[in-house]
Amino acid sequence: MTAERKVHIVEPRYARTWLLVNATRTELFDVSLASRADQVVLDLEDAVDPSRKDSAREDVIRWLSEGGQAFVRINDVTTPHWRDDVDALKGVPNLLGVMLAKTEAGEQVDATWHALGGRALVVALCESALGIEEAREIATARGTFRLAFGSGDYRRDTGAGAEDLAMAYPRSRLVTASAIGRLPGPIDGPTTGGGHPELRESSSVGVAMGMMGKLCLDREQAYVINEVMSPNVSDATWARDFIADFEKSGGVVRDGSDLPRLGRARRIQELADAFGIQPL
């Protein structure tokens, strides 16, 4: 029996926490779905040995067909596993979308989107120097839903460190590309090691740079990420009051700061509604 979620459901376009779950760990599927993670991503790629990909894929499809709901991280287009993944997943009920590993070109997203029937949401995971440099093309591809940052593979590919300064360039590329492609804000890479203070700090840095979500490997990280990547009650209250005052005054712009503040207020209100945050 698939677990029912007991938390506020957040649409994928607003999702903050993207919990990666090894597709061979079927005992974690229901537990993960019932967690505080906004979205669950069953991982058929790096987490699964090639000898087990077929059986893991079958387990994922069975769980989805029995009522589970999740994204699935599929293998990249340069591997034979990609074709196996898209052929098997096409038309599977309750598949919310796919996360395309090692995306390096917009045409790879298009091919995936078309292979899945032209309806599945495709999150393009940019994990290499080339993927980051091609972020604008990827963001404007027809099938792209959101961009995500595969920070670990990016560091291996470039030799960059994990420090915020070293990660500023790829994060900025993804944020800028997402804005050009009129996509929701990108999904940051996971924080591994350390405790909640480190997770809180790295999530805050991501928010400051324009990231709107974060990959995570542990469902216990979800509530920290959700808290940091959400407007707080004070923000929601300010936004509601500012919009109400602006409308009460007839929507008349009084100085150059009104429109930027109105845009910020409307964005905060949109996110607060999406996350179920009630103003005071």
The pLDDT tens digits of the residues spanning 241-272 come to 999 998 888 888 888 788 899 999 999 999 99
CATH number at residue 53: 3.20.20.60
Q: Residue 210 falls within a domain, yes or no?
A: yes
Do both 33 and 155 map to the same domain?
A: yes
Least confident of 58-67, 199-208, 240-249: 240-249
Do both 175 and 241 map to the same domain?
A: no
Q: How many domains does the chain have?
A: 2
Whether 7 shows a pLDDT value over 70: the answer reads no
Do both 149 and 265 map to the same domain?
A: no
Do both 93 and 168 map to the same domain?
A: yes
Q: Residue 10 falls within a domain, yes or no?
A: no
- Tell me the C-alpha distance between 130 and 104, whole Å: 6
Do both 217 and 267 map to the same domain?
A: no
Do both 267 and 142 map to the same domain?
A: no
Do both 58 and 194 map to the same domain?
A: yes
Q: Residue 5 falls within a domain, yes or no?
A: no
- Taking alpha carbons only, the member of 204, 196, 249, 261 closest to residue 230 is 204
Q: Residue 8 falls within a domain, yes or no?
A: no
Do both 130 and 237 map to the same domain?
A: no
Q: In this predicted model, what pLDDT tens digit does every residue of 97-142 receive, in sequence order?
A: 999 999 999 999 999 999 999 989 999 999 999 999 999 999 999 9
Q: Residue 7 falls within a domain, yes or no?
A: no
Which band of pLDDT confidence, cut at 50, 70 and 90, is reported for residue 194?
A: confident
Q: Residue 152 falls within a domain, yes or no?
A: yes
Domain hosting residue 237, numbered range: 233-275
- Taking alpha carbons only, the member of 145, 209, 220 closest to residue 174 is 209
Q: What are the helix (H) ranges across 47-195? A: 53-65, 80-89, 106-115, 129-133, 135-139, 151-158, 164-180
Do both 151 and 217 map to the same domain?
A: yes
Whether 8 shows a pLDDT value over 80: the answer reads no
Do both 156 and 171 map to the same domain?
A: yes
CA–CA distances in Å: residue 33 to residues 21, 88, 90, 124, 175: 10, 22, 21, 22, 28
Point out the domain boundary residue: 197, 212, 228.
Answer: 228
Which pLDDT score, from 0 to 100, does residue 1 have?
46
Q: Residue 181 falls within a domain, yes or no?
A: yes
What's the chain's length in residues? 280
Q: Which of the 8 DSSP states describes residue 140?
A: T
Do both 219 and 240 map to the same domain?
A: no
Do both 193 and 88 map to the same domain?
A: yes
Q: Residue 11 falls within a domain, yes or no?
A: no
On whether the CB atoms of residues 185 and 15 are closer than 8 A, the answer is no
In order, the DSSP letters of 10-55 are --TTT--EEEEEETT-GGGHHHHHTSS-SEEEEE-STTS-GGGHHH
